Structure 1
């Protein structure tokens, strides 16, 4: 490995100084940092530590780790803390091994976790189950950095045996434990944190985040494709900078190609927050919390750094990992091998009669989707009846939502949802958190059936249908990821989004919003394989309310 020097304005986040200097790189390390004369240079670039995404499910980008890495380095991200939870739900240990294996083929420093909640609940069918024995097997490994988000917070609070066993195994190996506790507060929160759970990326209000920080948690400010909490939480930077990190959680390819953690740094700096506090949240805090082998632009550190035009723009000019330039002048400097294909998909037969809903007495409970949030709301509506059946009513934005099990043959679950705005057609996906069965939403049964059929025939994908036009993004890797690069996937995905918007939807990320309507651990009303699910009572509930209720 050759030795070289990089000149520019050095951003020293440890000493909180910026000065003109020269970085000498030798054998992949920062050998020496020297000051240079403080004179105006034509090419006055800024050199700073490489950025870290503190929590992401790579699979949500629909890219394999190799192609995800190519986009990361374009935006200055050198390390990624990743929970392979999505593929673990489909493929189990084989899926986790796949992500680690593919991640090792590229320079980006991946820190993978042991997915703690596979399946997310015992109330749905997934492709695998990771019990305490598997968690112990994973925790022993050097390529597993932490116990990934413990979503079963009721199980933690009530000290369910299998949940506490997993937590104790992580503590035994001295590895961090990620949290997932939306809305949890008071004594239940203290019990949750008391078990050693140290982070939360689900906070959506300042009040919630401050309570969690004051009880010892680190808060990950999340800005992804579906959940966007940056604007609500960035004021924390004034008083709680040492307790903050940045993450994307779930990011679709059309957003990823336009920016990553660098965009959060840019936005925070432009809002007037202290540059060093912001950069620490994007670099030092996750590096220290997870014990990452990632350099922070200090002598002796791995040479993981980036060169940008200005902190207020965060346009990345060059990215270095272990002393190797992996991105320069618009070019990614490493090759990605064609990824392997693994999948688990049982294509059961489906008939349009399977998704009809017989009318019950009274009004019906409807899921209200919320743009930019994983949370949903419960609303009560008068159903539209045609004979003995209830049908979608696009005039009131009441659409049919269908859940189809991809692992075994069983009747579909059906509900109604508001918020998507479709006036015609249907769209669906084999990405549906967390078990990744098939979800389809539409205005009529014929289009819903056709979309589901195309997904099953292709063993996974995102599909939209409007009239005679059907668009498909195939997802051959576990029904979650493409085997193509980001520009290709983003182009296909954008085409599907355009088609969905032409059908009437105004959601920022309609496919991703759809994908969370089956996540039974996020409030308030979701659709599982047995029907509507109330997260407050943690039970399935009937669609119809005989005694009525207020219309919404």
Structure 2
């Protein structure tokens, strides 16, 4: 919020104003920028989907939004350049000056910020969105390969509860924040969580994938609205374990096994059928394929997630899932060793 922003500025901190794919904070924070504090403010995107980069841009999108909301264009450019360089003590970039690296862009005007030319270390490298140099393929064999997951059976997805009241992670539209809520749930005769579609509560699991520890954290999520299937990814900030969400253990297990088989990426299953998989061979986080190709595949998978699995249209299916394991964003998140209460900053039991 603007009040939180001002509090941090008074404490001498820098402010990163984020406009990503899952979190949209820029417009809410820009009213807090003043002539007196603007040099402590800067832009960031955090995670941004290929489609958003191709259609709306990156930091250039922040510039357009800022000017539209009344920020002086020069102030906006400072927040996109020199402010960030000074914050991170990058003393030879962020400005066009003697002794600085000649990294700069030429734009058509200070309203639309359409980039016409790009220069890197004095070299002309791009014109009107097209590179003017030949790209070189790199060997990715040292950062690709199998996931280091300790083998486990589907029974590890059974969630034993001590009571019919559980702590549930409720998702918020267009936000990385979650709410910690208590909900009445159902258990089977063995005391394990039993899914009922009417409750809009589904299971979440985080599986450790780096050191074969065998750790698997289990939790419950509300407002994702997925039905008859599961989604999993090896992008799970910041530890990047496997994270999988679903309304049945079978499809969740199929998703995890698919990711283990291909060495990382994003996948979806329904009734045992693979609805789509994006292979991310570089550490299970990135692809070596061209951006338009990845964008096309992701758009197809997004459509499937919404139209076939019924995912909440106010959420980005894959980006939202990737942040549910990040135990520094309030109020509650899930790690491979359990449910974490960010406000109390301690692990907590699912059962109330």
What is the aligned partner in structure 2 of residue 511 from structure 1? 318
What is the aligned partner in structure 1 of residue 51 from structure 2? 254
What is the aligned partner in structure 1 of residue 248 from structure 2? 444
What is the aligned partner in structure 2 of residue 372 from structure 1? 174
**2:140 is the counterpart of 1:337:** no
What is the aligned partner in structure 1 of residue 194 from structure 2? 391
**2:290 is the counterpart of 1:485:** yes
Q: Provide the C-alpha distance between the structure 1 equivalents of 2:351 and 2:169, rounded to a whole number of angstroms.
A: 13
Select 2:79's aligned residue among 261, 272, 281.
Answer: 281
Q: Provide the C-alpha distance between the structure 2 equivalents of 1:415 and 1:391, rounded to a whole number of angstroms.
A: 13
How far has the Cα of 1:302 moved from its partner?
Answer: 4.1
What is the aligned partner in structure 2 of residue 139 from structure 1? none
Structure with bigger gyration radius: 1
What is the aligned partner in structure 2 of residue 215 from structure 1? 11
Q: Provide the C-alpha distance between the structure 2 equivalents of 1:512 and 1:352, rounded to a whole number of angstroms.
A: 25
The verdict on how the C-alpha distance between 1:241 and 1:420 changes in structure 2, with shifts beyond 3 A counting, is same
- Consecutive unaligned residues in structure 2, runs of 5 or more: none
The verdict on how the C-alpha distance between 1:298 and 1:412 changes in structure 2, with shifts beyond 3 A counting, is closer
Q: Provide the C-alpha distance between the structure 2 equivalents of 1:295 and 1:311, rounded to a whole number of angstroms.
A: 17
What is the aligned partner in structure 1 of residue 224 from structure 2? 420
**CA offset digits 1:394-447 (Å, max 9, x no partner):** 332201111111121425221110121112211011111221111100111111
**2:255 is the counterpart of 1:462:** no
How far has the Cα of 1:300 moved from its partner?
Answer: 6.8
What is the aligned partner in structure 2 of residue 78 from structure 1? none
The answer to whether the 8 Å contact 1:369/1:418 transfers is yes
Runs of 4+ in 1 over 6 A off after TM superposition: none
What is the aligned partner in structure 2 of residue 237 from structure 1? 33
**CA offset digits 1:124-166 (Å, max 9, x no partner):** xxxxxxxxxxxxxxxxxxxxxxxxxxxxxxxxxxxxxxxxxxx
Q: Provide the C-alpha distance between the structure 2 equivalents of 1:372 and 1:292, rounded to a whole number of angstroms.
A: 35
The answer to whether the 8 Å contact 2:103/2:120 transfers is yes
TM-score norm. by structure 1 comes to 0.59
1:147-296 map, 5 Å: 205-239=1-35, 240-258=37-55, 259-289=57-87, 290-294=89-93, 296=95
The verdict on how the C-alpha distance between 1:287 and 1:529 changes in structure 2, with shifts beyond 3 A counting, is closer
1:40-119 map, 5 Å: none
TM-score norm. by structure 2 comes to 0.90
Q: Provide the C-alpha distance between the structure 2 equivalents of 1:238 and 1:223, rounded to a whole number of angstroms.
A: 19
The alignment covers a number of residue pairs equal to 341
The answer to whether the 8 Å contact 1:350/1:453 transfers is no
How far has the Cα of 1:347 moved from its partner?
Answer: 3.4
Q: Provide the C-alpha distance between the structure 2 equivalents of 1:330 and 1:282, rounded to a whole number of angstroms.
A: 19
How far has the Cα of 1:306 moved from its partner?
Answer: 1.9
How far has the Cα of 1:499 moved from its partner?
Answer: 1.4
Greater relative contact order structure (CA < 8 Å, 6+ sep): 1
Q: CA RMSD in A?
A: 2.0
**CA offset digits 1:53-111 (Å, max 9, x no partner):** xxxxxxxxxxxxxxxxxxxxxxxxxxxxxxxxxxxxxxxxxxxxxxxxxxxxxxxxxxx
Select 2:329's aligned residue among 505, 516, 522.
Answer: 522
Q: Provide the C-alpha distance between the structure 2 equivalents of 1:237 and 1:394, rounded to a whole number of angstroms.
A: 45
How far has the Cα of 1:307 moved from its partner?
Answer: 2.2
The verdict on how the C-alpha distance between 1:213 and 1:450 changes in structure 2, with shifts beyond 3 A counting, is same
Q: Provide the C-alpha distance between the structure 1 equivalents of 2:176 and 2:68, rounded to a whole number of angstroms.
A: 27
Select 1:473's aligned residue among 278, 287, 309.
Answer: 278
